[in-house]
Amino acid sequence: MNKRILITGGAGFIGSHLCERLIKEGNEVICLDNYFTGSKSNIVHLLDNPYFELIRHDVTHPYFIEVDEIYNLACPASPVHYQYNSIKTIKTSVMGAINMLGLAKRTKAKILQASTSEVYGDPLIHPQPESYWGNVNPIGIRSCYDEGKRCAESLFINYHEQNDVAIKIIRIFNTYGPRMNPEDGRVVSNFIMQALLNEDITIFGDGKQTRSFQYVDDLVEGMIRMMGSRDDFYGPVNIGNPNEFSMLELAEAVIRLTNSKSKITYMPLPADDPTQRQPDISLAKKELNNWEPKIQLEQGLQNTINYFDNLLKQGWTRK
């Protein structure tokens, strides 16, 4: 049966891919976005589809609609954007969760929270299982995002226990792919743009800190499987690629794949930047029909490089 599905942050990098996939599966999709970090260009190709609706709205204000499912993705996710207006970031995570949970409660919709690996902070356990409570600085430069998402998880659990709202919580690990914002300050987009422009590639710290990079299509598959998982499983569940790469390895791969003349330079590591991040995905494999990432780094990077290369050919320039 086709569903009416609301996606907050639907014009964002991840949200636009989710909109596309859910429409392709025959659903009616309502995309809600205030364009703080999302962009109409990400979903313009869907606007002629009669089953797609785009609404400009900020989730810090209530929204009323009848839907079957809600994917709550609204929140700036890169340090450049979430630190730009830290109070707005916390409000989006907390007030956005309250408003969408209220909507889910009223309409009896199932609701999925896009949480983050940032809830683990700078982890003392490696790789990170869902049972790990994290090592987060509550007053640090990243706390507006980290603590906002942690509070949102708490709200989801409490709405489930107190009001019987059907919830799902996923923790997303570093995700990349086409439609990333070239200026979002994330490491994959930074490195690719610097390499394509033959600029120095900037590594913060010694380059030994690691991340696990997940291609966006694998994440979308995990989200949809989580939404469709058994009723008594609501997470949280890690959705990420367990293959771990250092910043130096990533920079070298990007230079090679772009045939760039870029040199690698080093800058001081920002405050509270995690030194390691790697998901334990055994729970996702067990509960989400053997879900695991299919697209590995080289293939995913090449797809993303092609996207950014096309942007430059179309005349994209830095703001």
Tokens 């707005």 belong to: 88
- Which position among 71, 82, 145, 176 bears the catalytic label? 145
Give the β-pairing of 244-246 and 210-212. Answer: antiparallel
Contacts of 74 (CB under 8 A, 6+ apart): 8, 9, 12, 32, 33, 34, 59, 92, 96
Query: What is the spatial distance between Cα 12 and Cα 176, in angstroms, rounded to a whole number?
Result: 12
The structure tokens listed for 283 are: 């729970």
Contacts of 9 (CB under 8 A, 6+ apart): 15, 32, 33, 38, 59, 72, 73, 74, 75, 114
Contact between residue 65 and residue 103 where contact means Cβ atoms under 8 Å apart = yes
Contact between residue 144 and residue 82 where contact means Cβ atoms under 8 Å apart = yes
Neighbours of 45 (CB within 10 A): 11
From 82, 4, 17, select the one nearest 223 (Cα to Cα).
17
Query: Is 145 assigned a catalytic role?
Result: yes
Which residues are catalytically annotated?
Answer: 145
